[in-house]
Chains A and B, each alone.
Chain A
C-alpha cells in the first residue's frame, strides 16, 4: 500500500513541476513509474494518459472560462488528433515495451532541446488578448496532418503532445502563441481520452497505479497553477534540461536492457 502513497506523492511532484514549467506531466510520470516503481511500460503509459486528462481538464477549464483558447480550431484539429491517438495506442499494443522505452527516450531528448531553446515568450511578449476570429489561421490541411502525428505521439507514448501541437499552431498555422498554448491544452484532454480508452480496453489502466498517480498529479497541478506567478523559473528550467537528458539516457538503457541506477 505504501507504494501507492509514494506514487501519489511522486505524481504530485510531477504535476507541480509540470504546471510550473509548462510541461504535461507525462514526460515525468512515465520515467517515475517505470524506473522507480517498476511498473510495466504500457501500464505506465495508460496511467500517464489518465493523468494527462486530469491536468488538461483542470487547466483547460480555466483557459476556457477566460476565453483564451479557440474552441472551434481545437475541435477541428481534434478530428485528426483523436484518430492519431487511437492509431498510436493500437500500435503501442503491438510493440515490444523495450522499443517504446527507446522511443520515449528520444521524445525526452526532443523535449529537453525545446526547453533549452525556449524563452519565456508566452509570459512576456504575447500579452495582447486575442479573441476568436481576430486572426486568420492558415495551412489547415497541413495542420491537420501534423495534428494526426501529434495524436500519434500521444497515444503511442502517453504524453499530451503539446510539444508538437503548439509549434504546429504557432509556426505553421499562424495562431497567436498564447492562444496556441491554451488551445493545445484544451485539445490534450480529448486526444488523451481517445488513447486512454485503447489502453483501458486492454486492461492496462491499473486502478491503483493510475488512481493514486492521477490524484497526486491533480493536486500538484492545482497547487502549481496557484504558485506559478510567484516563482522564478529560469534556473529551474536550465536544471530541468539536465534532468530530462538524464531520464532519457536511463530510459534508453532500460530499453536496451541495462540498468544504470535503479
Chain B
C-alpha cells in the first residue's frame, strides 16, 4: 500500500514537469521564429479568436502564432491532465473515495474546457 501511495505523487509530479517544459519549449520555438521573421505582422491589433480547426491548419503551415497558441494550450491543459492521472492512480490504489473526487474535479473542468474547443 505504501509503495503504491508513492506512485500518485511521482506520476503527478512527472506530468506537471513534462507539461510545463513542453509548453516552454513550444513558446521558445514560436516566439523565436516570430522574433527573427523578416516581416512581422502587427499581431497586437485585434483579438485573435481561437478555433481548433484553425489551429491545426495553421500548425501544418508552421505559423509561429499557432505554435505559441499550442504552447499556451499545453500549459493550460497540464493541470487538467494531472487531475486525470491522479484519478486513475487513486483508482489503481482502490482508493475509490479520492478517485471519485478527482473525477468530480475533472467533470467541472470539462465544463469550461469543452466549450472552448467547439
Contact = CB atoms under 8 A, between A and B. Distances in A.
A118 to B, nearest CB: 27
B109 A207 contact: no
27 contacts: A4-B31, A50-B75, A53-B75, A53-B78, A54-B24, A56-B79, A57-B79, A58-B16, A64-B12, A78-B83, A82-B105, A89-B112, A190-B105, A193-B76, A194-B109, A197-B109, A197-B112, A200-B76, A200-B116, A201-B112, A201-B116, A206-B44, A208-B68, A211-B72, A212-B31, A214-B72, A218-B24
A189 to B, nearest CB: 4
Nearest to B69: A207
A78 B101 CA distance: 9
A15 B116 CA distance: 27
B79 A53 contact: yes
A172 interface: no
B98 A208 contact: no
| A contact face: mostly helix, strand, loop, or mixed | helix
Contacts of A218: 20, 23-24, 27
Interface in B4-42: 8-10, 12-14, 16-17, 19-20, 23-24, 27-28, 30-31, 34-35, 40
A1 B27 contact: no
Interface string A211-232: 1101100110000000000000
A206 B48 contact: yes
A56 B17 CA distance: 11
Given A53-B76, A61-B13, A75-B105, A211 B49 contact: no
Nearest to A4: B31
User: What DSSP secondary structure best describes chain B's contact surface?
Assistant: helix
B103 to A, nearest CB: 10
Given A75-B105, A86-B111, A211 B13 contact: no
Given A65-B10, A76-B101, A214-B27, A57 B35 contact: no
A3 interface: yes
Given A72-B98, A211-B71, A190 B109 contact: yes
A60 B48 CA distance: 31
Contacts of B83: 75, 78, 190
Nearest to A76: B101
Contacts, number: 152
B109 A193 contact: yes
The size class of the interface chain B forms with chain A is 35 or more
B44 A8 contact: no
B78 A57 contact: yes
Interface of A: 1, 3-5, 8, 43, 50, 53-54, 56-58, 60-62, 64-65, 67, 71-72, 75-76, 78-79, 82-83, 86, 89, 189-190, 192-194, 196-198, 200-201, 203-212, 214-215, 218-219
B65 interface: yes
Interface in B37-83: 40, 43-44, 47-50, 65, 68-69, 71-72, 75-80, 82-83
A205 B69 CA distance: 9
Contacts of A5: 35
B79 A192 contact: yes
Given A197-B112, A211-B68, A211-B71, 20 more contacts: A3-B44, A57-B17, A61-B17, A71-B8, A75-B98, A75-B102, A89-B112, A189-B16, A189-B79, A190-B79, A190-B109, A193-B76, A197-B113, A197-B116, A208-B34, A208-B44, A208-B65, A210-B72, A211-B31, A212-B31
